[in-house]
Structures are given as C-alpha cells and as structure tokens.
Structure 1
Amino acid sequence: MAGPTPDDSPGFLLWHATLRWQREIAAALGPLDLTHVQFVLLACTWWLNSQGTHPNQLALATQSGTDVKMVSQVVRALEAKGLLQREVDPTDTRAKLLRITDAGAALAPRAIAAVDAVDAAFFAPVPRDTTLTVLRALAGPRGE
C-alpha cells in the first residue's frame, strides 16, 4: 500500500509554486535591471510617495514586509541606479526619508505592469477571489 507522496504535501507544492513564480518574476524584471526585492521596495516607495508619504527605511520595511537591514542595502542600490534618493529627515537627523526620482517614477509603473502580467498568467488557473482569499489566509495579518 502506497503512502502519501510529496504531491500530497501542501507545503511541498507551495514551495514548487513559489519557485516557479519567482523565476517568472525574475525573467520579467531582468530587462528592467531590477531584482525582485528592488522591485518591491521601488514599487512600495513609489506608492507611498504617491499617497503623500516619504517613508524612512523602517516604514518602508514595514510596508514591504522585509527586514530593515536588507532595506538599507537595497535602498543604497536603488539610489546608485538613480531611482531613489535619501534625504535627512528634518524631525530626526538620524533617519533618511525616501523619495522616488523622476527615473524611478518612470520605471515603477512599467515594472508593476510587468509583474502584474506575470501574476495574471500565473494565477489564471484559479479564480481571482479564491486566490486572494487563500493567500490572505495564509499570509496572516501584515506585520507578523
């Protein structure tokens, strides 16, 4: 009698689905000279700036769900590419406020469109409402 196989494991299947999705995202972002993490931080900064907020690195880490030390490194890379600029926070000179540059503001919507296209194709086999319900349940409350 055969026992369960790896294909009976939700975690194993999620692992493989995640790897495939990450490969497809990387392929879409490669021509834009962005890594996936760079994309997430650029897109979050662009969105926060469009809402009238200039986040510091901690606020960006919270928004993106990433480690603040990693945010610092990636922000430096985005700054070197001319996509973000850091400015001293007038209320806390130890903090840097993040502002998207004109080049970053031009690139962010293009990168978001590329990622949205990958997501649409990748998740097409499952109804959108179902996908969002499952992913929200699995992700848990933001910030955890």
Structure 2
Amino acid sequence: MSKEIEFQFKSPNDSPGYLLGQLTMLWQRKLKTVLDPLDLTQTQFVLLAALGWLSKKNNTVTQVDIANQSNADRMMVSKVLRTLEKKNFISRQEHQTDTRAKVIKLTNAGANVLQTALTVVENADKDFFSVLGNNLSLFNQNMFNVIEQNKEN
C-alpha cells in the first residue's frame, strides 16, 4: 500500500496557488483568442504594452526597462523583441551613452497593432472579470499587493 499523501489545503479550491493557476490558464486562453488574429502572442503583447507605457514618459526606453516594467526575464525579453523587430513592430537603435544598450521604439505598424490589441484585450478583460462586479477594484488592489510583496529586488 502506498503512503497517503498529506495536503495542507482541504481541497484544491482552498489553495490560492491552484486557483491562480486555473484562473491564469483560462485568462490566457481568452487572450489567445483575441490576439491570434493580430499575429501576437500574449508575451509579445505584454512587451509591446510595456514599451507603449514607458514611451509615454521617456524617449530612450531600453530592453532592461521593458523587462523591469513587465517583470520578465531579460533573456526572454531579448528573444521576443527580436521577433517583434522581424515583424516590423519595433526598431532597435544604438543608445547614445550606453554602448551595451539598445533604444527600443514602436514603429508605425507596432503602434497600430498595439492600439488594436489594447482595445481587444481591455474588452476581453472587462468581459472575463465582469463576474467580480463592484469587487474588481479590491481584486486588483489585492493582486497588486501580492505582486509588490513578492517582487525580486
């Protein structure tokens, strides 16, 4: 007879990690549906959106800035940015003062696809999270708190 497995949680629905995993998979599936027609993956969208946000405040956005903004691995960001450059959604230019860094900019095609993607993703988010009703702000604040508490410095 095999050893009985001990779980800290009485059921999967008591486990925040399990529930977050389930929620994430469902949400990613929904986003895939709206991003596929734009020839974007969710990761590509996230990095384009990070670039869009950062570009509003700074003309010299670097790969490191994008990685930090999106809480993403720098090597993965590098690979995805190369793909976005091949799709002509971004350009990479030499940094004026840091020879190791590249300045990342949205192209016109990238700005157009990002604007369309923002619309479809924001509408998908509204639909997906509509079940929360008036609790959406509290849900968002709780997610933000968990993210801030667990960020690597």
Kindly, what percent of the aligned residue pairs are identical? 39
Counterpart AA for 2:129: F
Query: 2:41 aligned to 16, 35, 46, which one?
Result: 35
In structure 2, the partner of 1:133 is 141
Cα distance in 2 for partners of 1:142, 1:59 equals 19
Q: What pairs up with 1:11-90 in 2 under 5 angstroms?
A: 11-90=17-96
Counterpart AA for 2:139: T
Shift of 1:131: 1.5
Which range moves more in the overlay, 114-123 or 49-58?
49-58
Cα distance in 2 for partners of 1:138, 1:22 equals 20
In structure 1, the partner of 2:123 is 117
RMSD between superposed Cα atoms in Å: 1.6
Q: Any gaps of 5 or more consecutive residues in structure 2?
A: 1-8
CA deviation vs aligned residue, 1:12-56 (integer Å, no higher than 9, x gap): 122111110111111111010000110011111122222233211
Return the TM-score normalized by structure 1.
0.91
Shift of 1:6: 1.7
Count of aligned residue pairs for this structure pair: 142
Q: Which has the higher contact order (CA 8 A, sep 6+)?
A: 1
Q: Between Structure 1 and Structure 2, whose CA radius of gyration is higher?
A: 2
Cα distance in 1 for partners of 2:65, 2:17 equals 31
Matched position secondary structure for 1:87: strand
Return the TM-score normalized by structure 2.
0.86
Counterpart AA for 1:29: L
Matched position secondary structure for 2:59: coil
Q: Any gaps of 5 or more consecutive residues in structure 1?
A: none
Counterpart AA for 1:132: N
Shift of 1:93: 1.9
Which range moves more in the overlay, 50-59 or 23-32?
50-59
Matched position secondary structure for 1:93: coil
